[in-house]
Amino acid sequence: MKTIVKVSRRNFLKVSGLAGTGLVLGFGLASGKNKPLNNIFEPNAFLKIGSDNTIIIFSKNPEIGQGVKTSLPMIIAEELEVDWNKIKVDQAPLDSRLGAQFAGGSTAIKTNWDTLRKAGATAKTMLLTAAATKWGVDAQQCKAVDGFILHTSSNKKLSYGELVEAAAQLEVPEEVALKSKADFKIIGTAKKGVDNQGIVTGVTQFGIDARAEGMLVAVVEKCPVFGGKVVSYDASESLKIAGVKHVIQLDAISSTAGLEGVAVVATDTWTAMKGRKALKVTWDYGEGESESSEKLSKTFYENVNKKGEIALRKDGDPEMAFESAAQVHEATYELPFLSHVTMEPMNYCADVKENSCTVWGPTQVPGSVSRLAEMITGIPRENIQVNMTRVGGGFGRRLMADYASDAIAISKTIKQPVQVVWTREDDVQHDFYRPAGMFKLKGALNAQGELTAWEVKATTTSRYLFRGSDNSPHATEIFPDGFPAGFVKNFNMEYTPVKTVVPTGAWRAPGHNITAFVDQSFTDEMAHLAGKDPVEFRLELLGDGNKEMPYDDHGGPTYSTGRLKNVIKLAAEKSDWKNAKKGLYKGFAAHFMFGSYIAEVVTISLDENNIPKIEDVWAVVDCGIVVNKSGAMAQIEGGIVDGLGAAMFGAITVKGGKSEQSNFDKYKLIRMKDAPHVNVHLVDSDESPEGLGEISLPTISAAYANAIFAATGKRLRKQPFNEYINDTSS
């Protein structure tokens, strides 16, 4: 069965090729008509076919390690009917014709799925029509196979390259047929990353590898205390160093788009770093100096032990339910700030000229960079070119473009291209951290061991509040429709935001990276209190049949209990949940987020000192249709390792208004010996593709903590676990 889809002609661009050499297709061009012929060579559309059979597919979104540079072109290639091994993939720059271009919220596949399929199918349809016209046959008798159009009855065959000139003369079809899933040859297979060879030979360019003629390098000193200001600076020693060219004070743009600081600009990176060491800056620390993790923790404790400022959800009569319960249980969880520490430190290049500006580097939000460039330089956006390099990790840090605004401001001042490079210390000390917070949970059971009431009192250093938005400070901190809401008759959720100078932002699976740990740990606590198997306890709560639960948040508007139960059952089955083996202990967790479903099982053993060792991890995921099997599994494997590492080791602690950690010596990341083997099962599904890049992270800390409880009877409610694992007081 084929699906016929409407193609809006108004939004579809067709550009005939220069001297008939190609066909370029792109959606969303507002003024696409009568573009000059030389547009053919602009890398700003979805695909380009040359008369020499060169097929270039453009990847529109930033590649931050989530694999979109491979998976997005796979979707186009599927409908275009080309041999995957014969196409070339290029990174597109920022280009309004390509629609929204960013990396965030696990949305690249789901939001581009239809558009990219249509882009491929439309080109294929035009090539089919061109061939049929040439042969004087019905297009229905022709088919597209691996970059050729075949006339089945006569065995006539023309390559796409031979047809582009004729195809480029055709009207863009109003309707195109999309392939059915059963006919997919590329989607659903495992394709290797298109940049793999370049990466392993060191030739692939990351932002930090970009160079332009006459480019200088800048490092920027920022106030070590959050929110501080420059009083004065003495650059005399810096300027004595051979190679140091400029020392410039940078004005603040805002607390999120660029802090004030002093930039040292030199001929090369090391000289710029040395120049900064010799710089003397006098700071006004302001009120920030009094902030500390200890103080915040006290505030958190007060907040969860009083009525919350915002009532987020109330079902039934929780007060009455707790009073009449057979058993009531309370537990308090606490989570620290986390740093993003992408392996490629922040860096960005800018070349600001009189009336135009070119910028390039690693970002998740090229559109924000463009807006900032316009704001800083006054140059209109149509004269601002934003090029995208491969990004050495994002995890939400590069949703902020503060480091890019430094580069733009410096280049504007010195009238030369410049690359801003942050050291790891700059990165760790000037991050937008994962919010810290505390969650107090209370649950009630009746005499049958059924969950009758659930209460959560939460408090976090809200990132929306930090941004200056007083509206919905709970957004992406806590989710009123998340499990078990809707399955417990009496339910209460309260939230109290905490304002702090410590910058906070999105960190892989924002909010969920805390709430899934808390909810899935406490679900396990209640299951054990009820004397029930944790898997059975969850299935019992979810009930019989399939229900669409309202979910008024990203990934909604509803979620399916049937799909959630399916991953839970599959994970139990694959991990052999029910069969206990001597010396092995299992922990379970499951979650819905960003449109997808996951269940995870961690199996641990204990050494002679009762130190847990992870033996095995199982993850079962339903994200709808999977585009790239290898890339999808990589995201699940990597997210689990990342989530375990953060839970075991990760913590930014604040004292005197600054981060006590500044590099990997004190901000620990998981290394190979602690990274477990992960088994991934992707559910075969016909549902539309949903988010995958973040989903495996949040639940894993709960599954691990639940396994430790199964082994030792000790509940880990505070992260990082490794600090509390031998602590007998909590």
Partner 1 sequence: MATYKLNINNQEHTVEVSPDTPLLWVLRDAVGLKGTKFGCGMAQCGACTVHLNGNAIRSCSFPVSAVQGDVTTIEGLSANSDHPLQQAWVEADVSQCGYCQTGQIMSAAALLKRKPKPTDQDIDLAMSGNICRCGTYQRIKKAVHAAAEKGGAE
Among 212, 328, 675, 725, binds partner 1 (CB under 8 A): 675
User: Is the CB of 332 or the CB of 339 nearer to partner 1?
Assistant: 339
- Nearest to 111, CA basis, from 555, 672, 615: 555
Spatial distance between the Cα atoms of 169 and 15, rounded to a whole number of angstroms: 9
Binding mask 633-662 for partner 1 (x = CB under 8 A): -xx-xxxxxx--x-----------------
CB 188 within 8 A of CB 629: yes
Does 669 interact with partner 1 (rule: CB under 8 A)? Answer: yes
Choices 264-272, 290-298, 349-357, 404-412; region in contact with partner 1 by CB under 8 A: 264-272
- Nearest to 589, CA basis, from 532, 535, 512: 535
Q: At what angle do helices 68-80 and 108-135 cross, to 10 degrees?
A: 30
- Nearest to 718, CA basis, from 552, 465, 517, 430: 517
Spatial distance between the Cα atoms of 220 and 248, rounded to a whole number of angstroms: 9
Does 345 interact with partner 1 (rule: CB under 8 A)? Answer: yes
User: Is the CB of 192 or the CB of 581 nearer to partner 1?
Assistant: 192
Does 206 interact with partner 1 (rule: CB under 8 A)? Answer: yes
Closest CB 674 distance from partner 1, rounded Å: 9
- Nearest to 513, CA basis, from 263, 261, 693, 369: 693
Among 1, 4, 200, 447, binds partner 1 (CB under 8 A): 200
Among 36, 213, 672, 686, binds partner 1 (CB under 8 A): 672
Does 93 interact with partner 1 (rule: CB under 8 A)? Answer: no
Binding mask 362-391 for partner 1 (x = CB under 8 A): ----------------------------xx
User: Is the CB of 250 or the CB of 634 nearer to partner 1?
Assistant: 634
Question: Mapping DSSP to helix (H, G, I), strand (E, B) and coil, where does residue 596 land?
Answer: strand
Q: What are phi and psi of 369, to 5 degrees?
A: -60, -45
User: Is the CB of 119 or the CB of 279 nearer to partner 1?
Assistant: 279
User: Is the CB of 39 or the CB of 269 nearer to partner 1?
Assistant: 269
Does 204 interact with partner 1 (rule: CB under 8 A)? Answer: yes
User: Is the CB of 566 or the CB of 659 nearer to partner 1?
Assistant: 659
Among 114, 209, 309, 576, binds partner 1 (CB under 8 A): 209
Does 517 interact with partner 1 (rule: CB under 8 A)? Answer: no
Does 73 interact with partner 1 (rule: CB under 8 A)? Answer: no
Does 501 interact with partner 1 (rule: CB under 8 A)? Answer: no
Among 197, 355, 546, 558, binds partner 1 (CB under 8 A): 197
Choices 254-262, 368-376, 392-400, 475-483; region in contact with partner 1 by CB under 8 A: 392-400
User: Is the CB of 87 or the CB of 391 nearer to partner 1?
Assistant: 391
Question: Mapping DSSP to helix (H, G, I), strand (E, B) and coil, where does residue 12 land?
Answer: strand
Question: Mapping DSSP to helix (H, G, I), strand (E, B) and coil, where does residue 299 land?
Answer: helix
Choices 204-212, 292-300, 302-310, 461-469; region in contact with partner 1 by CB under 8 A: 204-212
Closest CB 268 distance from partner 1, rounded Å: 4
Does 605 interact with partner 1 (rule: CB under 8 A)? Answer: no
**Residue 678 C-alpha from the chain's centroid:** 20
Spatial distance between the Cα atoms of 391 and 278, rounded to a whole number of angstroms: 31
Closest CB 190 distance from partner 1, rounded Å: 7
User: Is the CB of 204 or the CB of 413 nearer to partner 1?
Assistant: 204
In the Cβ-directed half-sphere of 271, how many Cα atoms lie within 13 Å? 15
Q: Which amino acid is located at 473 in the chain?
A: P
Among 83, 146, 165, 195, binds partner 1 (CB under 8 A): 195
Burial pattern 181-194, b for ≥16 Cβ within 10 A else e, equals: eeeeebbbeebebb
Among 193, 258, 497, 503, binds partner 1 (CB under 8 A): 193
Among 60, 274, 554, 715, binds partner 1 (CB under 8 A): 274
Q: Residue 658's beta-bridge partner residues? A: 655
Choices 16-24, 125-133, 262-270, 561-569; region in contact with partner 1 by CB under 8 A: 262-270
Does 111 interact with partner 1 (rule: CB under 8 A)? Answer: no
Closest CB 197 distance from partner 1, rounded Å: 6
Number of neighbouring beta carbons within 10 Å of residue 300: 25
Number of neighbouring beta carbons within 10 Å of residue 701: 33
Among 67, 258, 435, 443, binds partner 1 (CB under 8 A): 67
Spatial distance between the Cα atoms of 708 and 566, rounded to a whole number of angstroms: 25
Does 104 interact with partner 1 (rule: CB under 8 A)? Answer: no
Q: Which helix (H) or strand (E) holds 463?
A: helix 463-466
- Nearest to 182, CA basis, from 399, 431, 376, 1: 1
Closest CB 60 distance from partner 1, rounded Å: 18
Among 514, 626, 678, 707, binds partner 1 (CB under 8 A): 678
Q: Which of residues 402-431 bind partner 1 (CB under 8 A)?
A: 421, 423-425
Location of structure tokens 């997919």: 184
Spatial distance between the Cα atoms of 462 and 474, rounded to a whole number of angstroms: 7
Q: How far apart are the first and last CA of the chain?
A: 59
Q: Which helix (H) or strand (E) holds 329?
A: strand 327-335
Choices 135-143, 339-347, 495-503, 651-659; region in contact with partner 1 by CB under 8 A: 339-347
Does 192 interact with partner 1 (rule: CB under 8 A)? Answer: yes
Burial class (CB in 10 A: 0-12, 13-18, 19+), 497: buried
3-state secondary structure 490-552: EEEEEEEECCCCCCECCCCCCCHHHHHHHHHHHHHHHHHHCCCCHHHHHHHHHCCCCCEEECC
Q: What strands lie across the sheet with 142-145, from one edge to the other?
A: 142-145, 148-151, 156-159
Does 217 interact with partner 1 (rule: CB under 8 A)? Answer: yes
What is the total count of residues that contact partner 1 (CB under 8 A)? 64
Would you say the C-alpha torsion 701, 703, 706, 710 has a positive or negative sign? negative
Closest CB 298 distance from partner 1, rounded Å: 32
Q: Which amino acid is located at 38 in the chain?
A: N
Spatial distance between the Cα atoms of 658 and 440, rounded to a whole number of angstroms: 27
Q: Which amino acid is located at 407 in the chain?
A: A
Among 1, 182, 242, 447, binds partner 1 (CB under 8 A): 242
- Nearest to 262, CA basis, from 244, 280, 275, 249: 249
Choices 151-159, 283-291, 474-482, 671-679; region in contact with partner 1 by CB under 8 A: 671-679
User: Is the CB of 347 or the CB of 561 nearer to partner 1?
Assistant: 347
Which residues lie near partner 1 (CB under 8 A)?
Answer: 64-67, 190, 192-193, 195-197, 199-206, 208-209, 217, 242, 268-271, 274, 341-345, 390-395, 421, 423-425, 630-631, 634-635, 637-642, 645, 663-665, 669-673, 675, 677-678
